[in-house]
């Protein structure tokens, strides 16, 4: 079996007639200035999606994106250009533009390439061709039938199946020569239910870095039923209360709390610049002692996982918060060098046409001691939020929000009426200190998270056990509760 680097070289360079020796010499030219790092990032990605609506598979699309990004780094400065042709002429032109960042002559030596074969966290399979187009179309129709059969209130069903296959290769003046072959698949089901003149939407989805062979109707039916269930719950929802209250967050996807409340604030760029509310706090208590939060890009087949990051560094498990103490930041090469530390393998970019930044992979809180039932029964009056849409954070002030899409009142230790979707708002460092119980039921999300930063989207994972936050503001409409 050939390794990833051979496959990447064959796929990215061979059709263009380029050799790795030519690329090495090009890097030499790029780096005849006072550069700290010269990087070439080759990428070839293919994506396909199929969508069902009104009971028929009416949309299908396919896209191919190929190109090379050239980055020249000198101190805190970065020059960047890219080409959507992988040809020597186009790369040379991009390199000429990128190195304009460095002015004076120098003689940075290009290190000999070290072929780096990272541990494989997922098979390099091409998911697009893993099942036939006929099978894909038939599956979508079957999912539609399952959702409609679930309840007569179901009026509209939308199903989308997406698969992509990305081959990347990184060659850098520090000797990096790595590649990654990244499959990514997801299935999304969304329904609209209508009863007594009231309409609601419910959605569910799942995916990861694998092929489509597990996408069968037995598996997909669970997703369809979950979409219908959440829609039906919301049909009966009452207005949510407004103001500060105790909130119990369910396990799994509600871990978006950690992504927003601490994850973004612990990215190396914000902390190198001193613009994060967590800047300069390493070694200090920033969360309740019950909290241990990690970012782990090495989990098998997870949506946020990578074999190597987009600078060719092997991904790792980074402990961000241990028993409430801030222990680490997420780093790429540039920020690690400027902060005198090492890259944690968290450099990510949306494509060859974007600059990499420190980003999260799979971010979650480790399990605690409490039984989830015990956590709920400890709350006299509050809210139990089990599913969320997205979130957002201002890393400078630490303010963050995340929006509940399925939540219930807790009254006298019991989960009672469902409440309408509402936004929760808090300040990261304050909310993390108000976590008073952590469940023993750690779960990761189902694999459909997308993280946006500076206009770039990357797939991520989140997770957590059931948590109790003693006080956070809930943005409902009912005052005076």
Partner 1 sequence: MVTKDGNPAVGIDLRESEGALKQLVARILDEAKTVGASSAEVSVSQDHGLSVSVRKGEVENIEFNQDRGFGITLYIGDRKGVASTSDSNDASIKETVARAANIARYTEPDKCNGLADADRMPQSMPDLDLYHPWPITPDDAAELAKRCEAAGLGFDKRISNTEGAQTSTQAACRVYGNSHGFVGSYISTRHGLSCLLIAEDAKGMQRDYWYTVDRLPGRLQAAEEVGLEAARRTIARLSPRKVPTGRFPVVFSPQMATGLIGHLLGAISGGALYRKASFLLDSLGSNVASSHLSLSEQPHLVQAIGSASFDGDGVATTDKAFIEQGIVKNYLLSTYSARKLGMSSTGNAGGVHNLIVSGKVCKTQDLLGLAGTGLYVTELMGQGVNGVTGDYSRGASGFWIESGELSFPVDEITIAGNLKDIYRDIVCIGDDPDLRSNIRAPSILIGSMTLAGS
141-180: contacts with partner 1 (CB under 8 A):
155-156, 158
Q: Note whether 211 and 185 are within 8 A (CB).
A: yes
Q: Which of 29, 327, 392, 456 binds partner 1 (CB under 8 A)?
A: 392
For residues 101 to 140, the per-residue mask of contacts with partner 1, x marking binding by CB under 8 A and - elsewhere, is x-------------------------------xx-xx---
Q: Note whether 162 and 211 are within 8 A (CB).
A: no
Give, rounded to a whole angstrom, the gap between the first and last alpha carbons of the chain.
65
Q: Which of 23, 68, 98, 291 binds partner 1 (CB under 8 A)?
A: 98
What is the distance, to the nearest Å, from the Cα of residue 334 to the centroid of all Cα atoms in its chain?
Answer: 21
For residues 275 to 314, the per-residue mask of contacts with partner 1, x marking binding by CB under 8 A and - elsewhere, is x-x-------------------------------------
- Among the candidate windows 159-167, 295-303, 309-317, 390-398, which touches partner 1 by CB under 8 A? 390-398
Nearest CB to partner 1, comparing residues 84 and 411: 84
Q: How far is the CB of 155 from partner 1 (least distance, A)?
A: 6
What is the distance, to the nearest Å, from the Cα of residue 473 to the centroid of all Cα atoms in its chain?
Answer: 26
- Angle, CA of 128, 131 and 132, to the nearest 5°: 95
**65 is an interface residue for partner 1 by CB under 8 A:** yes
Q: Name 197's Cβ contacts closer than 8 Å, sequence gap at least 6.
A: none
Q: How far is CA 242 from CA 140, 246, 413, in A?
A: 40, 12, 20
**382 is an interface residue for partner 1 by CB under 8 A:** no
Q: Which of 390, 436, 453, 470 binds partner 1 (CB under 8 A)?
A: 390
**266 is an interface residue for partner 1 by CB under 8 A:** no
Q: Which of 112, 196, 197, 274 binds partner 1 (CB under 8 A)?
A: 274
Q: How far is the CB of 1 from partner 1 (least distance, A)?
A: 27
Taking CB under 8 A as the criterion, which residues in 341-380 touch partner 1?
Answer: 353, 355
If we measure between CA atoms, which residue out of 306, 345, 313 comes closest to residue 329?
A: 345
**Cα separation of 215 and 95, whole Å?**
43
Nearest CB to partner 1, comparing residues 6 and 84: 84
Q: Note whether 362 and 253 are within 8 A (CB).
A: no
For residues 229 to 248, the per-residue mask of contacts with partner 1, x marking binding by CB under 8 A and - elsewhere, is -----------x-xxx----
Nearest CB to partner 1, comparing residues 60 and 373: 60
> What are the φ/ψ torsions at residue 138 (nearest 5 degrees)?
-65, -40
**420 is an interface residue for partner 1 by CB under 8 A:** yes
Q: How far is the CB of 165 from partner 1 (least distance, A)?
A: 14
Buried b / exposed e across 96-108, counting CB within 10 Å, b at 16+?
Answer: ebbbebbeeeeeb
Q: How far is the CB of 371 from partner 1 (least distance, A)?
A: 31
| Measured torsion, CA atoms of residues 275, 276, 280, 283, in degrees rounded to the nearest 10 | -170
The DSSP element (H or E) to which 347 belongs, if any, is strand 347-348
Nearest CB to partner 1, comparing residues 227 and 474: 474
Nearest CB to partner 1, comparing residues 3 and 285: 285
Q: Which of 23, 40, 57, 185 binds partner 1 (CB under 8 A)?
A: 57
Q: How far is CA 155 from CA 140, 144, 149, 194, 236, in A?
A: 17, 11, 11, 7, 17
For residues 449 to 478, the per-residue mask of contacts with partner 1, x marking binding by CB under 8 A and - elsewhere, is ------------------------xxxxxx
* Alpha helix positions (H), 69-181: 88-98, 133-150
Q: What does the DSSP 8-state code read for residue 213?
A: T
Q: How far is the CB of 334 from partner 1 (least distance, A)?
A: 11
Size of the site for partner 1 (CB under 8 A): 83
């Amino acid at each position: 079996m050939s390794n990833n680097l051979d496959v990447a070289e064959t796929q990215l360079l061979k059709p263009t007639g380029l050799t790795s020796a030519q690329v090495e010499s090009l890097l030499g030219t790029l780096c005849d200035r006072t550069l700290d790092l010269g990087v070439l990032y080759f990428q070839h990605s293919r994506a396909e999606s199929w969508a069902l609506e009104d009971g028929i598979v009416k949309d299908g699309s396919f896209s191919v994106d190929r190109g090379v990004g050239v980055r020249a780094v000198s101190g805190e400065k970065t020059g960047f250009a890219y080409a959507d042709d992988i040809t020597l002429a186009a790369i040379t032109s991009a390199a000429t533009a990128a190195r304009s960042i460095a002015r004076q002559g120098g003689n940075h030596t290009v290190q000999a390439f070290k072929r780096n074969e990272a541990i494989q966290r997922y098979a390099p399979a091409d998911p697009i061709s893993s099942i036939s187009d006929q099978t894909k179309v038939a599956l979508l129709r079957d999912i539609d039938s399952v959702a409609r059969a679930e309840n007569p209130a179901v009026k509209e069903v939308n199903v989308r199946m997406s698969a992509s296959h990305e081959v990347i290769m990184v060659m850098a003046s520090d000797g990096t020569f790595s590649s990654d072959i990244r499959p990514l698949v997801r299935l999304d089901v969304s329904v609209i239910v209508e009863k007594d003149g009231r309409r609601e939407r419910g959605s569910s989805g799942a995916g990861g870095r694998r092929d489509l062979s597990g996408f069968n109707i037995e598996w997909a039916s669970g997703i369809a039923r979950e979409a219908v269930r959440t829609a039906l719950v919301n049909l009966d929802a009452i207005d949510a209360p407004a103001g500060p209250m105790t909130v119990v967050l369910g396990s799994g996807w509600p871990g978006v709390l950690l992504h927003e409340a601490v994850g973004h604030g612990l990215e190396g760029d914000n902390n190198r610049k001193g613009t994060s509310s967590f800047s300069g706090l390493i070694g200090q208590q920033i969360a309740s002692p019950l909290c241990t939060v990690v970012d782990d890009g090495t989990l098998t087949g997870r949506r946020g996982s990578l074999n190597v990051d987009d600078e060719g560094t092997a991904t790792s498990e980074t402990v961000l918060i241990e028993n409430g103490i801030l222990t680490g930041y997420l780093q790429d090469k540039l920020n690690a060098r400027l902060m005198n530390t090492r890259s944690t393998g968290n450099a990510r970019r949306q494509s060859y046409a974007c600059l990499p930044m420190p980003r999260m992979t799979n971010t979650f809180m480790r399990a605690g001691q409490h039984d989830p039932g015990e956590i709920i029964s400890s709350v006299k009056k509050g809210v139990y939020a089990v599913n969320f849409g997205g979130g957002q954070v201002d890393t400078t002030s630490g303010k963050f929000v995340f929006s509940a899409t399925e939540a219930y009142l807790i009254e006298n230790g019991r989960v009672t009426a469902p409440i309408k979707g509402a936004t929760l708002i808090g300040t990261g460092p304050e909310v993390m200190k108000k976590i008073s119980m952590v469940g023993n039921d750690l779960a990761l999300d189902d694999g459909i998270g997308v993280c946006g930063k500076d206009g770039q989207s990357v797939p991520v994972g989140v997770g957590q056990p059931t948590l109790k936050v003693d006080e956070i503001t809930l943005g409902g409409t009912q005052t005076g509760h």
